[in-house]
Amino acid sequence: MDLTNILGLPLGLMTGAQFITLMSEVFRHRQQPAPQPVTVTDVSDSNKYAYGIAGICEIFGCSKPTAQRIKSSGVIDGAITQTGRTIVIDRQKALELAREADNKRKGGRRCKK
């Protein structure tokens, strides 16, 4: 099959073999772009903060009502920065504060420590 004859045909009138020939020619002459250098960002900072009540849910693996209760209890207040309705939580500090609060607990109604 001659490439000049194929180029003159409308796409709708080409047979499958003619279309494959045309596409193989296109890919054969296509230049590969030079690979771009990849910049590596600091991965540790990308997960340093969580946002909103959903972020507290993600950190502690709990439901939204429980996350709201944790926030309202004041246990992780040192890890929370809130401006208006925007809540930013430092993940590491929140986990440390929760761990400290858990160690200070003396026990509940059913638990005698």
CATH architecture of 48-104: Orthogonal Bundle (1.10)
How do the domains of the chain map onto residue ranges?
Answer: 48-104
Distance CA(18)–CA(15), nearest Å, equals 5
For 43-99, what is each residue's pLDDT tens digit? 455 678 999 999 999 999 999 999 999 999 999 999 999 889 899 999 999 999 998
pTM for the full predicted model: 0.53
Q: How many CB atoms lie within 10 A of CB 82?
A: 12
Convert the pLDDT of each residue in 16-52 to its tens digit: 888 888 888 888 877 777 777 766 555 455 678 999 9
Residue closest to 81 by CA, chosen among 43, 39, 50: 50
Return left, alpha or beta for 107; rule: phi > 0 is left, psi -120 to 50 is alpha, else beta.
left
